[in-house]
Copies of this chain bind each other. A is one copy, B any other.
Amino acid sequence: MKKFVPVLCLTLLTTLALAQDKKINVIVFGAHPDDCDNDAGGTAILFSKMGHNVKFVSLTNGDAGHQDKGGGELAKIRIAEAKEAGKRFGVEYAVLDNHDGELMPTLENRLKVIREIRKWNADIVIAPRPNDYHPDHRYTGILVQDAAYLVIVPNVAPDIPPLKKNPVFLYSEDGFQKPTPFDPDIAVIIDEVFDQKIYAMAAHESQFFEWLPWISGKLDNVPKDEKNRLKFLADWRANAPNETTLESLKKWYGDSASATKHAEGFEICEYGKQPSDEEIRMLFPMLSK
């Protein structure tokens, strides 16, 4: 796996992290085991390499998204793949036991999200917007929105101490235009870790090499050997920044960011803490020019 982790960079980042007084705690929510990876995997690796703590939480167990398998059998595969992906990303990976394709914005699920955020003592919470093509994605967005603020209310979920402050809640990037186009308030260059992101995502074999190609009608294109699979996945899941993301990159990294090949964008949700630019730089230390 060495090739995915340029040694020099790792050292440098770790040093920076050690220089900091405090670990940053990042929690990413996705609907299915592989969604967090796609949305924030590169950023997660960067945080992790700098010594910060990242957790991925899939709100469903992925027990529906497959052409041949299903139910508990599939869930167990998905959980195992998520554990392996977590190792490759350098993050903790939790898979909650809700049926795939059936996630609803219930009070029960909201409380599960609140508990995850509190137990991770999160500074940053990342989730999809409540507008996306899959209902599970949309309801993940709503559930995480609905956890904002309540994470600091002591009488809510009194068995877990509340956070001291409302975290920054971020939406992960999507291409949807309505009701408003995605607005990348923050954008992170992930070029240096893109290979590692792809390698980590590849742990979700039943997703990226079975189900998603099948549903996209390109199952026959999936290579058999691992090396070509990684290339296939890297081509398919490239994170080329669009125009608005480029603008955000330049804001945070300067003009040199124009050459960025892979980036992940995040929009600040209005329901969490509204950080200043300075606070964003402290929360996203990889943005430092």
Q: Which residues of A contact B (CB under 8 A)?
A: 61, 63-76, 79, 95, 97, 99-102, 104, 106-108, 110-111, 131-135, 138, 145-146, 148-150, 152-159, 176-180, 215, 270-271
Residues of B within 8 A of A145 (CB): 135
What are the nearest 5 A-B pairs in CB distance? A70-B71, A71-B71, A72-B158, A72-B155, A179-B179
Residues of B within 8 A of A101 (CB): 150, 153, 155-156
Closest to A161 in B: B76
Residues of B within 8 A of A66 (CB): 155
CB <8 Å contact, A150 and B133: no
CB <8 Å contact, A158 and B270: no
Secondary structure class of chain A's binding surface, majority of residues: loop
A100 and B79 alpha carbons, distance in the complex (Å): 21
CB <8 Å contact, A158 and B67: no
Residues of B within 8 A of A95 (CB): 159
Closest to A103 in B: B107
CB <8 Å contact, A64 and B155: yes
> If A135-B146, A178-B179 touch, does A65 touch B159 (CB 8 Å cutoff)?
no
A70 and B108 alpha carbons, distance in the complex (Å): 20
A152 and B100 alpha carbons, distance in the complex (Å): 14
Closest to A174 in B: B270
CB <8 Å contact, B107 and A107: no
- 28 interchain pairs, CB-CB under 8 A: A61-B158, A65-B155, A66-B155, A67-B154, A70-B74, A70-B75, A71-B71, A71-B74, A71-B155, A71-B158, A72-B154, A73-B155, A75-B159, A76-B158, A97-B111, A97-B157, A100-B155, A101-B150, A101-B156, A102-B107, A110-B135, A131-B270, A133-B148, A133-B149, A133-B270, A135-B149, A152-B215, A178-B270
Residues of B within 8 A of A99 (CB): 99
Closest to A96 in B: B159
Closest to A178 in B: B180
Closest to A164 in B: B217
> If A63-B158, A271-B133 touch, does A72 touch B71 (CB 8 Å cutoff)?
yes
